[in-house]
A and B are shown apart, each in its own frame.
Chain A
Amino acid sequence: MSKKRTGVFVCHCGTNIAATVDVAKVAREMAAENTVAFTQEYVYMCSEPGQESVVQAIKDNKLDSIVVTCCSPNLHEKTFRDNAQRAGINNFTCEIANIREQCSWVHADKAKGTEKAIKISRSVVRRVNRNQPMDAIAVSVTRRAMVIGGGIAGIQAALDIANAGIEVILVEKQATIGGRMLQLSETFPTLDCSQCVLSPKMVEVKRHPKVKLMTYSEVQEVSGSVGNFRVKVHKRSTFVDPDKCKICDHCTEVCPVVVPNEYELGLTARRAIYIPYAQAIPASFTLDEDACLGLNPIRCGKCKDVCEAGAIDYDMRPQTVTEDVGAIVVATGFDLYGPENMPELGGGRVEDVLDGLQFERLISASGATKGHILRPSDHKEPKEVVFIQCAGSRDPAKHCAYCSKICCMYTAKHARLYKKHVPDGRAYVFYIDIRSGGKGYEEFVQRTMEDDDTLYLRGRVSKLYRKDGKVRVHGTDTLTGQNVEIDADMVVLALAMTPSKGTAEIAKTLKIGRDKDGFLAEAHPKLRPVESVTGGIYLAGAAQAPKDIPETVAQAGAAASKVIALLSQATLSRSPLIAKVRPSHCTGCGMCVEACPFFAIRLENGKAIVNEALCEGCGSCSATCLRAAIDVKNVTQMQIHEMIEACLA
């Protein structure tokens, strides 16, 4: 093997690196390495002149490999690998030594920082000595997408993808699409009817020739990777044929079972056979297997007897459908923080204390009271209503640390709508502060305060309880410094938004990360806000963080455009830096098989075999193997050993 000719390019990153690291010294030390043929330092290596100088230096000095000592490889690895290729050498002979995030940014002492930067750089120089030139692996792309969650985010993403001519499978857990938005009455700040703006989109997605709708279905298993996922979807049985169902409602008239209606958030009851809303899509009844007396004509069978369309089939079985898709959008939405976690606000057990979504149903024209505000306990019109913001939000000690973002706005909307329905009523709002950033938002809140004469009280509620047919609310008005006691007819809690139930499971199934609050984690908080950490899986809506409808729709469109861009490629190039088994060392113990999060390893004739299409090069196998029998290419045991040695020297 002829001697390596490595070039080392030391970046100052302005003062980001140069303030804590003596970059000239790093360059001098690297020049002393016997495989290094060229060194250079520059103020911004990633700038156009910086990049050009790298390309020129490779050509002029006949370099066969380069090390750029700069920021995290997350940022500029691709930049410099592309430059290497442009200069005529293999892009995988370029490595990044991170002396910014892992060195200059975390140290203050320049002498020690420089010493560490030298060690880091030297270790990468030693590593690159043993890098093998490699070609990216080309894989074909499945030109279909899946959207998980049929709320406004999922519907929008599905429509945008389908309109680009790409087939989409829209999977929804509930019996109808529409999600949370379908439960809302009017939407801020324009006060247009939520169902009226949503239902055209629901109809469009249902009728779209490129959209395959799967309601009452859940994603069970996902294998494969970007460009080629294989998804198993479990479709629960509705026991009603949607093509035959005429929505005549005769079945619900005879059904003897009464259970709380989850679509009305328990404010009303429904039968075991039911349709969630008049606007439900698919427009069909669903038989709730858990509530039904037994799907058995001998035990009950009344609904089947009266169904003239013959749509009810007790023998309908759940199905598992396998779909191949190239990309996935996750739009699994939100739930409200459980009031049972908040004993100070009644723990969900005090009558006439509602949550925000229940209030939406109460004022919705399609809700249980047909839009008349009547409190649940005695169906009387409440004359004094207390709205409590930040119920569970912004309370790191006891509840959720984050701001749920939409509560200031929807509480203002609630107060306005309340005053519209009950002009002689009185609305109080307890708040910490008002966050009304958004087009027309601040004006909306101001109108609520001024035009509608809503009393905003800056402070928290310490306790509430039932007293003499009312709810007594103890709070503080911190602006006047006085304690406030209100005997309210009704209380509405603006509960914190939390990731929907099942987010943890879906994240695990899809192998995407979650943040500290359980929301789905984006790949980069600023630059990759709609991508998950796993390639080919995108995020939309409140599953990623609390957000309102316009933001949700925007993010769904962004996720869709990412999907379209991905699926517009004929082939994808996959990183060739994947695991490789050394068969002579492998004893077939199978620990790597168990450790692999991508199911990319199997045992064959007592030896581990890596599926190149599935391996992501994460190195879990390599870390687990007791016998060093499996390595990730260009991060071999030998390279790690030499890097450690370089650091210890």
Chain B
Amino acid sequence: MIKLQDIRDTARDMLAKGEARAVIGYRRGSRGMLAEPAFLTRPEEADELVWDPTCFHNLSLYLVHDRKHLAHARKTAGAPVAVIAKGCDARSIVVLLQEHYFQREDVYIIGVSCEGTGVVDERKLAGHLNGAQAISAAFDGDDFVFTTAEGEKRLPAREVMADRCLECCSPFPKEHNLAFGEDKTGRQLEAPFAALDRFEAQGAGERWDNWARHFDRCIRCFACRSVCPMCYCDECVVDSITFPVTTATTAEEKASRIRWIERSAARSENITYLMTRAMHLAGRCTDCGECDRACPVNVPIRLLNNKMEKEAREQFGFEPGASIGGPSLVASFLDNDPGNFIR
């Protein structure tokens, strides 16, 4: 079991010694029991840190933000930023390192193993609490224990855990500078891609009806894109409005703004956006599930990305974020790549 005090001590120590510019972790949020991202720069702030099953955010996103801030301010990095990373988050960092978004020495990974638990799915929990507000969440080794105004409520992990945690095979952050918790691999409660398999078990017509309903609901708020550490492009391919005009931008480039999709949230445009995003995440998505969680209208975005990852695993044995030196999915070509999809 992870002792919260150890994490706090590490953060305090690193900030006091100047070994990190900042520590990115979790603290108690203002909204009920849920944790929120915390950005610590002073040692005395270390006691704000928390670690519980509501720490679902993928904090590697803020490493991307940090890079962008530095680039805009034309500053160089100096000391690294320390970040608390779960298994999936650490894999995201590995993908970012593979893509040279920053250097390994720019980040200090404080790995935290999810051990026997994962994170809570808010929507699943709400279904069990019947409107009650949970104040805190804990995991006692078997069950989640939620404290509400009416008292404690015990719920089996299987019933309130996020789908991705139920299916997770590698809850331990392999890439780390320092890691807390046990390396409990292969402890998934459900088979990988179980939720996707359930969805795919439907007939084609049914699947399409489902997706049509979801695509119609999308309001194109781009929360999924904003929350995704892999969506770090300055200009999103679907969104010519944010075309970055820098001193290096030529007239020819300005003239070649392409609007691949319309801005209106029509079904056809929403499909193009979400499909394009899924394609661009192929081989890069580490299944942190943040897009799914952030969606205000509950579009199961994770299934789209999962489909790509499932294909990648079945066809090429590919797992995103497995190692920094490893090949990328779409750019690498190996002799033993199967060609059975070419007909």
Q: Which residues of A contact B (CB under 8 A)?
A: 504, 508, 582-585, 587-595, 597, 603, 606, 624, 626-628, 636-638, 641
Contacts and interface: CB of A to CB of B under 8 A. Distances in A.
Contacts, number: 61
A626 B100 contact: no
B158 interface: no
A585 B234 contact: yes
Contacts of A591: 99, 328, 330-331
B48 interface: no
A608 to B, nearest CB: 11
Contact of B100 (A504, A585, A606, A628): A606
Contact of B246 (A584, A593, A627, A638): A584
B1 interface: no
A638 B99 contact: no
Given A587-B99, A587-B234, A594-B331, 11 more contacts: A583-B248, A589-B100, A594-B328, A594-B332, A595-B333, A606-B100, A624-B330, A626-B280, A627-B237, A638-B256, A638-B258
B233 interface: yes
A637 B253 CA distance: 11
A626 B100 CA distance: 14
A624 B256 contact: no
B335 A508 contact: yes
A624 B280 contact: no
Interface size class of B (residues with CB under 8 A): 20 to 34
B235 interface: yes
Interface in B88-108: 98-101
B258 A637 contact: yes
Contacts of A582: 253
21 contacts: A504-B335, A508-B335, A584-B246, A584-B248, A585-B235, A587-B101, A588-B100, A589-B100, A590-B99, A591-B99, A591-B331, A592-B331, A594-B331, A595-B332, A597-B333, A603-B100, A606-B100, A626-B280, A627-B233, A627-B237, A638-B255
Contacts of A594: 327-328, 331-332
A508 B333 CA distance: 11
A590 B99 CA distance: 6
Given A508-B335, A594-B328, A584 B99 contact: no
Which 7 A-B residue pairs are closest in the complex by CB-CB distance?
Answer: A589-B99, A594-B331, A595-B331, A591-B331, A638-B256, A641-B258, A584-B248
B244 interface: yes
Interface of B: 98-101, 232-235, 237, 244, 246, 248-249, 253, 255-256, 258, 260, 280, 327-328, 330-333, 335
Contacts of B249: 584
B332 A590 contact: no
Contacts of B99: 587, 589-591
Contacts of B328: 591, 594
A589 B237 contact: no
Q: Which of A508, A588, A628, A636 has the most CB of B within 10 A?
A: A628
- Name, among B235, B253, B258, the residue most crowded by chain A CB atoms within 10 Å (CB to CB): B258
A336 B234 CA distance: 57
Nearest to A595: B331
Given A508-B335, A591-B330, A636 B256 contact: yes
B106 to A, nearest CB: 13
A587 B331 CA distance: 15
A584 B237 CA distance: 14
Contacts of B232: 587
A116 B101 CA distance: 44
Contacts of A593: 331
Contacts of B331: 591-595, 624
B101 A626 contact: no
A597 B328 CA distance: 15
A584 B233 CA distance: 11
